[in-house]
């Protein structure tokens, strides 16, 4: 196995879109940042040099970090942040997972601009893909363009995150021609040039802060082959639904009539209720056929107009529900460890809600996201991460009791939100090494109409079931459970007014963040921590942190000066 090395210089640069220059925090001057490409089994070393004015950590989203949560990049959970003018090298191994993941900053809202693809190819080369070898592989990072310094947003977030909206969706940083600004300046959208008859592996990543997207290409279908770096049984669809944090690998065969160009579209399907006036974040790019050789006649003036796809309705969540529900695991690459636990040692019901939480000494109250009616507060107290690891508040595993729920009816009023109290606390859930865990996420819907993409660090989860309404153990278990070939994901999309059930084995000792990947939800506390205890052997115990892990407070870490 090789060591793949990168240097990430994080800094602010001016970028101009929509006739306005905005200061953006990015890696190596690029948005999206550089793609990391590895072969399964490789080691990775990324030297992060923080030239930005913000504290920084980088999270390798979906990389399991076996016995290595120290490289997971969650500030004040697994490390102190890399301060401005400091540096840190993340080192980790990538094993037993393949396909597309991504990396992003895990501070403030900066994941919206500090992000990039993380591509894991099979050990034995492209011919060992469990699908036809693609002619070309194309990372497609779906993002948003914010005409504001995202590093500044979080400071006011607890007071009000109303009114912060992206100006446009983006594909690989391109806005597209729907976004004219005054003076009629038209920005060219993303263009994918294809040759007729060839097949392309699209590696889609949703790096947006607030929107799930529907992705379609007029006149074409996709065959989905992987999600969250786990292969799925080939699934043919004309629409890909992708929520923040999720990745989807899909084959596209360029089999449409080659004499015209076709639109490629990414469209927000969830104008968030928390962001009036319900903006619709759209971008449009082009799939362009190259004729024999590279004669660009297809794009010429006399070419027929591009074809636009028919998109799902604005508030139509069903294509997303079906897309997610139709994926099944291929369970191909590594049968060991890929069996759904048949017996469960721990069962948790986690309610997701938007209650009220007050910060800053109670003076500023905002809508708070919460998990299980408590809210993790992550702040710069100067605690050492290794201290956070040991003395998390003891919280004995709760017995699974579906009858003690008290769901709140929908109603975004302050009074109703108050019915759902949110503690200001840092809580975690401890698991014994090797425990088979089932978590049912239940959206309780106060103050939100969103789907919640719940992301668990350090593990993949078997998504065994999803449904609308309230989960009902007597009705749903095992009738609605797929214990044979459920999709394996690091992010589970919990339907609006619905639920999703996952199983996983707590076999990775360490501290693992669990949170909604909507940045505005996690920023107000829709997060908690799962802690897995050490196992009995050296091979099942978390080693101490690397000596150069950044320290909180002054005088430590590697300064650039």
Burial 22-58 (b: 16+ CB within 10 A, else e): bebbbbbeebbbbbbebbbebebebebbbebebbbbb
Find, among 367, 414, 408, the residue nearest to 526 by Cα.
367
Contact flag: residue 489 with ligand C2O (CB under 6 A)? no
Least Cβ distance, residue 207 to ligand C2O (angstroms): 9
Least Cβ distance, residue 11 to ligand C2O (angstroms): 22
Q: Which region among 117-125, 229-237, 430-438, 511-519 touches ligand C2O (by CB under 6 A)?
A: 511-519
CA–CA separation, 346 and 321 (whole Å): 27
- Please list every residue from 432 through 471 that binds ligand C2O, using CB under 6 A: 455, 457
- Please list every residue from 87 through 116 that binds ligand C2O, using CB under 6 A: 104, 106
Out of 515, 526, 532, 557, name the contact with ligand C2O by CB under 6 A: 515
How many Cβ atoms from other residues are within 10 Å of residue 234's Cβ? 15
Given the complex with ligand C2O, which of 17 and 106 has the nearer CB atom? 106
Least Cβ distance, residue 323 to ligand C2O (angstroms): 20
- Please list every residue from 321 through 380 that binds ligand C2O, using CB under 6 A: none
Contact flag: residue 513 with ligand C2O (CB under 6 A)? yes
Given the complex with ligand C2O, which of 420 and 519 has the nearer CB atom? 519
Least Cβ distance, residue 238 to ligand C2O (angstroms): 28
Find, among 404, 421, 469, 415, the residue nearest to 442 by Cα.
469
3-state SS, residue 370: strand
Least Cβ distance, residue 389 to ligand C2O (angstroms): 17
Given the complex with ligand C2O, which of 83 and 104 has the nearer CB atom? 104
CA–CA separation, 236 and 224 (whole Å): 6
Looking only at the bridges linking them, the beta strands covering 136-145 and 168-171 are antiparallel
- DSSP H or E run through 326: helix 318-326
* Count of residues interacting with ligand C2O (CB under 6 A): 10
- Please list every residue from 269 through 308 that binds ligand C2O, using CB under 6 A: none
- Please list every residue from 187 through 206 that binds ligand C2O, using CB under 6 A: none
> Alpha-carbon Rg of the chain, whole angstroms?
23
The contacts of residue 441 (CB under 8 Å, 6+ apart) are 350, 352, 452, 454, 492, 494, 499, 500, 501, 502
CA–CA separation, 74 and 510 (whole Å): 12
Least Cβ distance, residue 324 to ligand C2O (angstroms): 17
Contact flag: residue 521 with ligand C2O (CB under 6 A)? no
124: which 2 tokens?
């034995």
Query: Which CA distances in Å does 16 have to 181, 192, 274?
Result: 12, 22, 27
Contact flag: residue 59 with ligand C2O (CB under 6 A)? yes
Least Cβ distance, residue 421 to ligand C2O (angstroms): 25
Given the complex with ligand C2O, which of 207 and 225 has the nearer CB atom? 207
48 backbone dihedrals φ, ψ, rounded to 5°: -95, 120
Given the complex with ligand C2O, which of 197 and 380 has the nearer CB atom? 380
Given the complex with ligand C2O, which of 73 and 134 has the nearer CB atom? 73
CA–CA separation, 75 and 385 (whole Å): 9
- Please list every residue from 381 through 440 that binds ligand C2O, using CB under 6 A: none
Q: Which region among 134-142, 191-199, 509-517, 553-561 touches ligand C2O (by CB under 6 A)?
A: 509-517
Q: Which region among 152-160, 313-321, 440-448, 513-521 touches ligand C2O (by CB under 6 A)?
A: 513-521
CA–CA separation, 28 and 49 (whole Å): 10
Given the complex with ligand C2O, which of 73 and 151 has the nearer CB atom? 73
Task: Look up residue 333 and give its DSSP letter.
Answer: S
Out of 6, 61, 288, 367, name the contact with ligand C2O by CB under 6 A: 61
Closest residue to ligand C2O: CB criterion: 61
Least Cβ distance, residue 37 to ligand C2O (angstroms): 19
Least Cβ distance, residue 517 to ligand C2O (angstroms): 6
Least Cβ distance, residue 508 to ligand C2O (angstroms): 15
Out of 245, 319, 385, 487, name the contact with ligand C2O by CB under 6 A: 245
Contact flag: residue 70 with ligand C2O (CB under 6 A)? no
CA–CA separation, 301 and 292 (whole Å): 18
CA–CA separation, 401 and 388 (whole Å): 29
Rounded (10°) CA dihedral 57, 62, 67, 68: -20
- DSSP H or E run through 193: strand 191-195
Q: Which region among 183-191, 221-229, 503-511, 512-520 touches ligand C2O (by CB under 6 A)?
A: 512-520
Write out the residues near ligand C2O by the rule CB under 6 A.
59, 61, 104, 106, 245, 455, 457, 513, 515, 517
């Amino acid at each position: 196995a090789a060591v793949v090395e990168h240097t990430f210089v994080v800094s602010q640069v001016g970028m101009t879109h929509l006739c306005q220059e905005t200061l953006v925090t990015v890696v190596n001057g690029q948005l999206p940042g550089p793609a990391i490409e590895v072969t399964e089994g490789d080691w990775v070393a990324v030297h992060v040099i923080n030239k930005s004015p913000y504290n920084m950590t980088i999270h390798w989203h979906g990389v399991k970090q076996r016995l290595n949560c120290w490289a997971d990049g969650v500030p004040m959970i697994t490390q102190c942040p890399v301060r401005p003018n400091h540096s840190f090298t993340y080192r980790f191994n990538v094993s037993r997972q393949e396909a597309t993941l991504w990396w992003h900053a895990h501070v403030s809202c900066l994941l919206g601009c500090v992000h990039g693809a993380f591509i894991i190819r099979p050990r034995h080369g492209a011919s060992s893909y469990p699908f036809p070898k693609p002619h070309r592989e194309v990372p497609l990072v779906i993002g948003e363009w914010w005409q504001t310094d995202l590093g500044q947003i979080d400071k006011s977030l607890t007071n009000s995150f109303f009114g912060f909206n992206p100006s446009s969706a983006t594909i690989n940083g391109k806005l597209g021609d729907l976004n004219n600004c005054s003076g009629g300046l038209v920005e060219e959208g993303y263009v994918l040039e294809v040759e007729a008859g060839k097949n392309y592996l699209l590696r889609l990543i949703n790096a947006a802060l607030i929107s799930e997207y529907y992705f379609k290409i007029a006149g074409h279908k996709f065959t989905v082959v992987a999600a969250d770096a786990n292969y799925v049984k080939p699934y043919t669809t004309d629409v890909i639904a992708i929520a923040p944090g999720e990745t989807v690998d899909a084959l596209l065969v360029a089999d449409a009539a080659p004499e015209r160009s076709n639109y490629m579209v990414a469209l927000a399907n969830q104008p968030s209720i928390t962001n009036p006036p319900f903006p619709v974040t759209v971008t449009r790019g082009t799939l362009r056929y190259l004729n024999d050789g590279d004669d660009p006649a297809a794009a010429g003036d006399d070419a027929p107009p591009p074809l636009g796809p028919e998109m799902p309705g604005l508030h139509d969540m069903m294509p997303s529900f079906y897309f997610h529900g139709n994926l099944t695991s291929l369970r191909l690459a590594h049968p060991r460890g890929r069996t759904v636990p048949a017996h469960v040692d721990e069962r948790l019901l986690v309610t997701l809600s938007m209650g009220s939480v007050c910060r800053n000494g109670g003076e500023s109250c905002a809508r708070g996201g919460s998990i299980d009616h408590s809210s993790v507060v992550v702040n710069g107290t100067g605690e050492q991460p290794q201290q956070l690891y040991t003395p998390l508040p003891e919280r004995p595993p709760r017995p699974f009791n579906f009858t003690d729920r008290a769901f709140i009816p929908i109603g975004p009023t302050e009074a109703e939100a108050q019915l759902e109290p949110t503690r200001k606390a840092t809580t975690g859930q401890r698991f014994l090494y090797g425990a088979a865990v089932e978590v049912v996420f239940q959206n309780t819907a106060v103050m939100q109409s969103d789907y919640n993409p719940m992301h668990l660090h350090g593990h993949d989860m078997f998504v065994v079931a999803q449904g609308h309404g309230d989960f009902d153990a007597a009705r749903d278990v095992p009738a609605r459970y797929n214990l044979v070939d459920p999709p394996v994901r690091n992010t589970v999309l919990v339907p609006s007014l619905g639920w999703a059930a996952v199983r996983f084995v707590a076999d990775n000792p360490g501290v693992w963040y669990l949170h909604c990947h909507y940045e505005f939800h996690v920023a107000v506390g829709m997060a908690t921590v799962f802690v897995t205890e050490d196992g009995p052997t050296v091979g099942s115990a978390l080693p101490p942190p690397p000596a150069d892990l950044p320290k909180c407070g002054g005088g430590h870490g590697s300064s650039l000066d």
